[in-house]
Amino acid sequence: MYYKSTRNNALRYTASEAILKGLSDDGGLFMPEKLPVLDKSLKELAEMDYRAVAYEVMKLYLTDYTEEELKYCIDHAYDDKFDTEDKVVLHREGNACYLELFHGPTIAFKDMALSILPYLMTTAAKKNELKEEIVILTATSGDTGKAALAGFADVPGTRIMVFYPKDGVSKIQEKQMVTQKGGNVRVVGIRGNFDDAQNGVKAMFNDKELRDELKNRGYVFSSANSINIGRLIPQIVYYVYAYTKLLKEAVIADGEEINICVPTGNFGNILAAYFAKQLGVPVGRLVCASNKNRVLTDFFKSGTYDKLHEMDDKGEFTEKREFMLTSSPSMDILISSNLERLIYLICGEDDFKCAALMKSLVRDGSYEIDESMRGKLKDFSAGFADEEACAAAIKKIYEEDSYVIDPHTAVAAAVYEKYGAESGDTRKCVIASTASPYKFPEAVLKALGADAQGEELTDRLHEISKVNLPAAITELKNAAVLHDTVCDTDEMKEKVREFLN
């Protein structure tokens, strides 16, 4: 299996090369030449544990890793860093099933991929006889940063630098990052939003002069963002696993279609669900849930991706679109990088066309897809939930089921409820539950009508939810702040040079 760039089909890389590079030199994202299909039945997979399913899925994409190498990566990633034997938990409630993806070390779903990426990358470095030290540059809307730091801290042959929007993440997210230990880590707040951070990082990747300068000094950049195919592939696993568990528990019949609803930011997690469908998992609808930053909702409804204007009731893009900070900060994104991979697929892998659309997004702030491409989006539905709808979903689910969900998951729950009511679709649905409510105690307590002022919010939330405080939270209480650098976006490059000096 080779990988090619969404903007240039002539470039061909092995999986390990693609993982090392992160982003193609032409600015495109790596895509498998052909989307694979499972070579075992879902019934067979239903008898396997998470690691074994991970192997069965990942071996189809990472064909230049030996069985021994891949199993080494999987076994070291999915160990007792996770607080549950199964690595994920399925919480069932009526027709909905919450797929809890937050049982890893940083209590957000990013751990599912970022606990294995360092192993995939260092194995790739060995395979490709890389001489340089790998420098991970990452922009984060809050959760990727900590999960990447945790994954790469003190991994020999790597360094990691994380940029986050100084005023755009939750207090706990920030504290998790600025207290990160490790001799090879650096955390920097930027004055700007997530898109600014992401653009700054992308610009450095595309800065040939900077790359050459660092190469001479023995460094090479790579990415831990979901633009790296090594992030996306491990995320496919849990959708396959969820289906097989539902099958094993006889919640669904063999071959029965399920829907999947994903709270979406950069379009990575939902794209992984789409890949799972292509693998042969019976998936009906993929429901893309956004918060008020609803650029994806507008896109799926109209075929126009416009980061500068919002769609009105008539389908016209007239109103100025503002970037909004919400209680689901990991979805406060206006440029969903991974959508490029879907665009590439629906335009028939036409690299020229895909590159032109992406160019127009940079130049004009928007692009429009044609009818034939729109016709290939039938697997998707999309909706958004504003702050009130999100809070109402947290409250309702707690009142009905004594189950507390985080604001990101609540966006998905609210959107799915609306989708179900409007479509009459009664298929069972897996809702990706992407973060522990303990990561966002203020927003969750407010939604529940509880006191959200002062300190010890997590303890208060514990009294309500009765769910044990995860180690990720208790460890924070006495952790020392180790990183306090803040800079403007145009200083990011300087900060990288300083870090590597």
Ligand X SMILES: *Cc1c(COP(=O)(O)O)cnc(C)c1O
Residues designated catalytic: 110
Burial (0-12, 13-18, 19+ Cβ within 10 Å), 211: middle
Residues 337-376 vs ligand X: string with x where CB under 6 A?
----------------------------------------
168, 263, 420, 441: which one binds ligand X (CB under 6 A): 263
| Residue span binding ligand X (CB under 6 A) among the ranges 209-217, 247-255, 260-268, 359-367 | 260-268
- Structure token pair of residue 71: 């199993």
Residues 212-231 vs ligand X: string with x where CB under 6 A?
--------------x-----
Establish if 118 lies at the interface with ligand X (CB under 6 A). no
Helix (H) or strand (E) holding 372: helix 371-375
4, 408, 446, 460: which one binds ligand X (CB under 6 A): 408
Residues 143-172 vs ligand X: string with x where CB under 6 A?
x-----------------------------
CB of 173 to ligand X, least distance (A): 9
* Residues between 423 and 482 that touch ligand X (CB under 6 A): 434-435
CB of 229 to ligand X, least distance (A): 13
Under the phi-then-psi rule, with left for phi > 0, alpha for psi from -120 to 50, and beta for the rest, what region is 402? left
Residues 71-110 vs ligand X: string with x where CB under 6 A?
-------------------------------------x-x
Provide φ and ψ at 497, rounded to 5°.
-60, -45
Q: Look at residues 336, 332, 12, 25 and name the one whose alpha carbon lies nearest to residue 169.
A: 332
**68: how many CB neighbours lie within 10 A of its CB?**
8
Q: Is the dihedral of CA 195, 196, 198, 199 positive or negative?
A: positive
Helix (H), strand (E) counts: the chain: 22, 18
Residue type, 176: Q
265, 383, 441, 470: which one binds ligand X (CB under 6 A): 265
24, 222, 228, 269: which one binds ligand X (CB under 6 A): 269
Q: Look at residues 68, 41, 35, 69 and name the one whose alpha carbon lies nearest to residue 53.
A: 41
Long-range contact pairs involving 461-469 (C-beta distance under 8 Å, separation at least 24): 461/404, 461/437, 464/398, 464/404, 465/404, 465/437, 466/402, 467/404, 467/437, 467/438, 469/438
| Residue span binding ligand X (CB under 6 A) among the ranges 31-39, 262-270, 312-320, 416-424 | 262-270
Q: Could you tell me the strand order of the sheet in which 133-139 lies? A: 219-223, 133-139, 158-165, 185-191, 485-488
Q: Site for ligand X (CB under 6 A): how many residues?
A: 16
14, 24, 198, 330: which one binds ligand X (CB under 6 A): 330
Establish if 198 lies at the interface with ligand X (CB under 6 A). no
The DSSP line for 304-364 is: EEESSEEE-TTS-EEEEPPP---S-GGG--S--TTHHHHHHHHTTS-HHHHHHHHHHHHHH
Which residue in the block uniquely carries the two structure tokens 């995939």?
A: 120
State which residue, 36 or 263, has the beta carbon closest to ligand X: 263
60, 177, 331, 472: which one binds ligand X (CB under 6 A): 331
- Structure token pair of residue 288: 């893309």
In the DSSP assignment, the letter for residue 108 is: B
Establish if 186 lies at the interface with ligand X (CB under 6 A). no
State which residue, 221 or 267, has the beta carbon closest to ligand X: 267
123, 244, 266, 326: which one binds ligand X (CB under 6 A): 266
| Residue span binding ligand X (CB under 6 A) among the ranges 41-49, 73-81, 261-269, 301-309 | 261-269
State which residue, 197 or 487, has the beta carbon closest to ligand X: 197
User: Which residues, 6 or more positions from 500, have their beta carbon under 8 angstroms from its beta carbon?
Assistant: 135, 159, 214, 217, 219
Residues 30-59 vs ligand X: string with x where CB under 6 A?
------------------------------
Q: Where does this chain bind ligand X (CB under 6 A)?
A: 108, 110, 143, 226, 263-269, 330-331, 408, 434-435
